[in-house]
Structure 1
Amino acid sequence: MAIKNIIFATCLLLLSALASCTKNTNQIYIVEFGGYETQTQLHDENVHLSYLLSVKESEEEAKGSFVYSYKHSMKGFAALLSKEEAKKMSEMEGVVSVHKSKGRMYSLQTTRSWQFVGLEGPLNPNWGDYQESSSLQKINNGQDLLSRAKYGQHIIVGMIDNGVWPESKSFSDEGMGPVPQKWKGICQNGTAFNSSHCNRKIIGARYYLQGYESQFGPLNEEEDYKSARDKDGHGTHTASIVAGRAVPSASAIGGFARGTAVGGAPMARIAIYKACWPIKGKSKDQGNVCTNVDILKAMDDAIGDGVDVLSISIGYKAPIPYKEDVIGKAALHAIRKNIVVACSAGNSGPLPQSLSNIAPWIITVGASTVDRSFVAPIKLQDGTIIQGRSITPVHMANSFYPLVLAREVELPGLPAKDSGFCLDNSLDPNKAKGKIVVCMRGEGERLKKGLEVERAGGVGFILGNNEILGNDVPCDPHFIPATAVSYQNVLKLIHYINSSSNPMAYILPGTTVLNTKPAPSVASFSSRGPNAIDPNILKPDIIAPGVDILAAWSAEDGPTRMTYQDKRVVKYNIFSGTSMSCPHVSAAAILLKAMHPTWTSAAIRSALITTAGTIDNTGNPLTDETGNPATPFAIGAGHFNPVKAADPGLVYDASYMDYLVYTCSFGETQYFRATYNCPNSSSLPEPTDLNYPSIQIHRLNGTKNIKRTVTNVGKSTSVYMFSAKSPEEFSITATPNILEFNHVGQKISFNITVTAKMGQIPNNYYGPARYYFGWYAWTHQNHVVRSQVAVSFT
């Protein structure tokens, strides 16, 4: 009997363990209901819990598995389910989709930039008295645009990021009027953040942890605040670029970039949605992680709260299919509410097909330089000066030191693949002590290379670009005297070291230099096309300043975000990434929306795209990191120009329904089946016929006709003439080639015909797609409405 009891108890223990194991295999699923306009009770959280109760054993278990309700970005909820429970849920009435959250980890991707693009306003924090303008006079300069847009004072921008440091002067509400009545959001209490931290500038704040904690466990509150407060600076930086107040005499560590820090729309209201958190067990300099269910809930709340613009400096390291991209999916529901959505293109350049956020209803923003540089030259003992760049606040003693390559002072036995990069514990202190060490980029983190040189006793280090990175030289606040050089200049250093019996050098202190040329140019890290998901849509859309941007920072994190080593504190910091370029375009969208409240989000995107600049400040075409002319896969339409975008003449408009039809024609028939049933495929237009301000044709065979429609938003009576420029491989024509308008708001359609010149197509056209580029434009007096064209052949 005792043996039987033991066996029975053992079985119970095994069954309990198995049940526990099964429970631990639960994953987050997103449950989506059908019929957006009907059955509004399906938005109710109690209804969602009742659905969960039907597949769970108890009310307690149902509540414990619940993650989020979604009301505005979709109709449904997220919950922890087993595979069997998910299957049962999918068979229930009203449920159209139950799909596993794939655990996709999205990540986070000023004093000179606004002046550089022509937006200059008064420096008084109150920004003067606003006067209503009764005329529609042409916007002649940045001051006109800012005053006409009232500095964005009635517009609300939602920041999906990792929080905000509300005490920064950039978020002062001095002189601001009441919060807009349309605002429906809240100021959520949390650690070191409560309702008193919101004001008439930061009008709302929320945070989202359920998805993160479901996947990674409880937040380590030594690494981040369990609230909307930003610990590492990224969210504060992006928010102040969009809508920071004017703060005179701001500068980065060491006094670099001193000037008035101000956002592009300094009177706009900011709503904070913190959805990104530290990577578990890793330092801040390795980035943050944002789960798709948290992002979706943040966007869901932002849509319901009443934001006008969403600025999302978040992306994935590789392109994501539409059906798996929660940012793209939620963004389309935002477009339905006429919310402009701007997203960063990603920092995976210069690799081709590396773009994030490629949905055509999103403004996808790449990064460019501005005409300011932080120069820290190297003086060689023979008198040669080699240019370098740095914002390092520590200076070298005024004397020469031995100059060596990292590979000459490494510890023995280091693998060849790791040689020359100054990786952790790679340098020999007996050889590196007292020397300036040249470390190459390509492997390892830039700032840690300097720490490795310091550990080995080096007195300074030089960061050398590899050939791929070319002329795109980073500026970092290193911990020891340091500078960074281009690939060509590192070759000069190598030649000097190899040809000299006693190479010696001195790193000069860094200084801020304005009006540098050429500018703008494309940042090497800015992600590139072609669009890997839909080759019918040209992405990125546009570039904007994203290199060495000064903006507000968390007062609890150092300028390098290396929290475990960098104990320095700054109120303003220089940072780079498409995370910085995105809020520039978001600010421009705020100003356009303030000036043109009836424009759709598509019209605002069109205005920005068709007026973008393609010439730098030397009068030559924009270049990339190699110094060669940049293609539309790097720059999109070109560098944004908010002043010109305010008066574009014509716009390419598109509606929410147009985008739904596009998803059907593209083949994503299940993408929005919860809200829309695709028509018969025989009646669908081609994806290229989406009324987009640019054209991309993949595998052209002969001739392609593409329909476009423009809306007159300029002078009531106007005549636009067609012109085009194309390479020898294809031609671009329009029918009709003259557009005559007699009132504002008038729409005229035309056909663009792209024809392959078969005799000019290269012999290797059978292989991987090679694209060729041209453009066409409609011109009337000062209006030039330009559209880029990209074509590959089959």
Structure 2
Amino acid sequence: MRDWVQFHQSGEESVRMQPKKGLALHSPVWHAKLHLFPYYLVSYGFRKSRKLIGARYFNKGYGSIVGHLNSSFQTARDIEGHGTHTLSTAAGNFVPGANVFGNGKGTAKGGSPRARVAAYKVCWPAVGVNEGGCYEADILAGFDVAISDGVDVLSVSLGGAIDEYSDDAIAIGSFHAFKKGITVVASAGNSGPGPGSGVSLSQKSLPARKFYPLISGARAKASNQSEEDANLCKPGTLDSEKVKGKILVCLRGVNPRVEKGHVALLARAVGMILANDEESGNGILADAHVLPAAHIISTDGQAVFSYLNSTKDPWAYITNVRTELGTKPAPFMASFSSRGPNILEESILKPDITAPGVSVIAAFTLATGPTDAAYDKRRIPFNTESGTSMSCPHVSGIVGLLKSLHPDWSPAAIRSAIMTTATTRNNNGDPILDSSNTRATPFAYGAGHVQPNRAADPGLVYDLTVNDFLNYLCSRGYTAKDLKLFTDKPYTCPESFSLTDFNYPSISAINLNDTITVTRRVKNVGSPGKYYIHVREPTGVLVSVTPATLEFKKLGEEKTFKVTFKLAPKWKLKDYTFGVLSWSDGKHFVRSPLVVRPYWSH
């Protein structure tokens, strides 16, 4: 008997089921509350130094569950679009005139253009009663071959349930890649909370400034349907005689956003306004709708519903889609982006970094429509998609460039360079906000928003060796048998290893009751110089650093320092609190987020 886990989604979908051991790609449309859903995925690796190019597929794990696979499954072709989109984001070449329905027109390129790429397809669709997904045997097979192929970077826009590392195919595969000097970048997931202008993308448009009658789904309900279901514009809930010739207002949630537009079109609406519910806040997306549509934030949605409820004869118009550049404030955290704390290990802050992931234009397959719905017969070479799957290849492309600039850097050094040079400010110079317009925290953005140019010259890096990671696993109680999953040689755990001394670029003090001291080690990868400490203390916590200056006389020199966290006198710390530790020589700013959680007695 197989073990199954139930997936409950917030915002767009119904409950579905998937094998517990299956993993799934981070789809931009499906925002899962717990895990993410099975679609096609092309994971990939790339490098600049060798002539690596090709595509492979791995389906034996999948086939062992669903049975015989016909010839349509014996291919690495992407017929869903996710892999094409993410691959071109990371390493696509220069393509002039890229656009989606004429919008966003310009020259497209990936983060590491002209890189040699290889695609590894490890995710598959449903067959009969069996859900599709990304099975661990196929993921590990893909990792093995990519490592053997000699890639420099592995970009993995997939994920699944939170599991111990020994039960996590991505963790195991990533460790083996790390041993070979390969940097792995993986999505954080789209399980984030859904805590004034609208966003629109449609091939069709309405006449400029022409007003149409406005109606809510609730008022357009069919006689045998509930107002709640009709307001969500679920299939079969609307009376087309009430909707015909009008702009329909639909509330976001439960069923997919583009499906609501299709329901509106079938009911003969001329356009749709998609209003966020309170949970979705300011998280609006440019979906490829099948009719003129505008997606608006929750406060604007409340204003629209208020207008509908207070006016006997409401009217509205929808302007044509236009591309806006230099919008402010940017960036801000998407509501769907998964948040910390790290459920598996609080002592390591997750996510590490944030990067662009909303309404990203990139290449797309011609095997399906931009909404991937059966009724969508449109075919476009570029599409706009949103999700942490889109953020992942942005970082992967940057990693590819850093590998070209610094071929001797370890994967840990590259991660450190990206994290310690990130920014927590938007283009107004203010702190990055969450989609609810509140100040975001490191649980939303990690070390901050990636800054590629600064990452190329970070000054100092926090490096890690294979043994550091093995010692970390030892601290989690891993036995020699457990460690065999990660290393082919016997490894003896040290008699003592403090998890607080794991040399990560972020610094966490968990269960602070009085005083906690952590140790960190930095390596000079820049010019000789003297670095001075600066700390923005977490609220209610005193922080001291010893020594307060670090002087480096040569490239590659390493220095150790200690950070002590102490509860402020008479201060009752009740929740997580955040700060910043930064080393600077006047040119470089080596910034680490600080995360403190008080001791919680149970």
TM-score by length of 1: 0.69
- Of residues 311, 314, 326 in structure 1, which corresponds to 2:155? 311
- For the pair 1:350 / 2:193, whether they are aligned, the reply is yes
Q: What is the identity, as a one-letter code, of the residue corresponding to 1:105?
A: L
Q: Give the greater-gyration-radius structure (CA).
A: 1
C-alpha separation in 1, matches of 2:70 and 2:356? 34
Q: Is the 8 A contact 1:161 1:273 kept in 2?
A: no
CA distance in 1 between partners of 2:115 and 2:75 (Å): 23
Determine whether 1:103 maps to 2:21: yes
What is the aligned counterpart of 2:404 among 594, 597, 600? 594
CA distance in 2, matches of 1:279, 1:26: 16
Which position in structure 2 is the counterpart of 1:19? none
Equivalent AA in structure 2 for residue 277 of structure 1: W
Which of 48, 56, 60 matches 1:210?
Answer: 60
Alignment match of 1:331 (pick from 174, 193, 198) = 174
Pick the aligned partner of 2:112 from 250, 265, 269: 265
The alpha-carbon deviation at position 282 of structure 1 amounts to 9.7
Letter in 2 for 1:209: N
C-alpha change, 1:611 and 1:491, in structure 2 (3 Å) is: same
Q: Look up the match of 1:524.
A: 335
- Other structure's SS at 1:614 match: coil
- Aligned with 2:428: secondary structure? coil
- Partner residue in 2 for 1:61: none
Partner of 1:773: 578
Q: Deviation at 1:480?
A: 1.3
Q: How does 1:349-368 map to 2 (within 5 A)?
A: 349-350=192-193
User: What are the Cα deviations for residues 405-438 of structure 1, in whole angstroms up to 9, with x where unaligned?
Assistant: 2111112443566352111111122322222111
Q: Indicate which of 253, 260, 268 corresponds to 1:457.
A: 268
Which of 373, 393, 398 aligns to 1:583? It is 393
Equivalent runs, 1:30-49 vs 2, <5 Å: none
The equivalent of 2:447 in structure 1 is 637
Secondary structure at the aligned position of 1:698 is classed as strand
Q: Are 1:238 and 2:117 matched, yes or no?
A: no
Structure 1 unaligned segments of length 5 or more: list them.
1-24, 28-100, 110-159, 166-170, 172-177, 182-199, 353-385
Q: Counterpart in 1 of 2:237?
A: 426
Map residues 608-619 of structure 1 onto 2, 5 A cutoff.
608-619=418-429
Aligned to 1:516, the other structure's residue is in SS state coil
1:692 paired to 2:536: no
Aligned residue in 2 for 1:701: 513
Instruction: Decide whether aligned partners of structure 1 residues 297 and 780 sit closer, same or farther in structure 2, where only a CA change above 3 A counts.
Output: same
Asked if the contact 1:162–1:228 (Cα under 8 Å) also holds between the matched residues in 2, the reply is no
> Are the counterparts in 2 of residues 543 and 581 from structure 1 also a CA contact under 8 Å?
yes
Aligned counterpart, 1:49: none
1:475-554 equivalence runs, <5 A = 475-554=286-365
- Which amino acid is the alignment partner of residue 382 of structure 2? Y
CA distance in 2, matches of 1:488, 1:234: 32
- Distance in structure 2 (CA, Å) of the matches to 1:339 and 1:611: 21
1:162 corresponds to which letter in structure 2? L
- Aligned partner (choices 514, 518, 534) of residue 723 of structure 1: 534
Asked if the contact 1:164–1:230 (Cα under 8 Å) also holds between the matched residues in 2, the reply is no
Partner of 1:470: 281
Task: Judge which range, 722-731 or 753-762, deviates more.
Answer: 753-762
The one-letter code of the counterpart of 1:103 is K
Deviation, 1:225, is 5.3
1:227 and 2:145 aligned: no
1:248 and 2:53 correspond = no
Using the TM superposition, give the Cα deviation of residue 673 of structure 1 relative to its aligned residue in structure 2, in angstroms.
3.6
1:388 maps onto 2:198 in alignment? yes
Query: Quick one: which amino acid aligns to residue 432 of structure 1?
Result: V
TM-score (norm 2): 0.90
Secondary structure of residue in 2 paired with 1:514: coil
Cα distance in 2 for residues equivalent to 1:533 and 1:549: 30
Q: Is the 8 A contact 2:330 2:427 kept in 1?
A: yes
Cα distance change on mapping 1:548 and 1:26 into 2, 3 Å: closer
Q: Does 1:402 align with 2:213?
A: yes
Instruction: Tell me how far apart the structure 1 counterparts of residues 61 and 90 of structure 2 sit (CA, whole Å).
Output: 27
Q: In structure 2, what residue type is equivalent to 1:261?
A: A
> Secondary structure at the residue paired with 1:462?
strand
| Paired amino acid for 1:625 | S
Separation of aligned partners in 2, 1:387 and 1:706: 46
Query: Root-mean-square deviation (CA), in Å?
Result: 2.4
Q: Distance in 2 between matches of 1:775 and 1:26?
A: 47
- Deviation at 1:526? 0.7
Matched position secondary structure for 2:258: helix
- 1:162 corresponding residue in structure 2: 41
Deviation at 1:397, TM superposition (A): 3.7
Q: Report the count of equivalent residues.
A: 568
Cα separation, 2, equivalents of 1:238 and 1:642: 18
Query: What per-residue deviation string (whole Å, max 9, x for no partner) do you get for residues 721-774 of structure 1?
Result: 001002331122111110011111000001011111252224xx3xxxx31100
- Residues 196-245 of structure 1: CA distance to partner in whole angstroms, max 9, x if unpaired? xxxx6x61221011111211234466xx5521111121111111111111
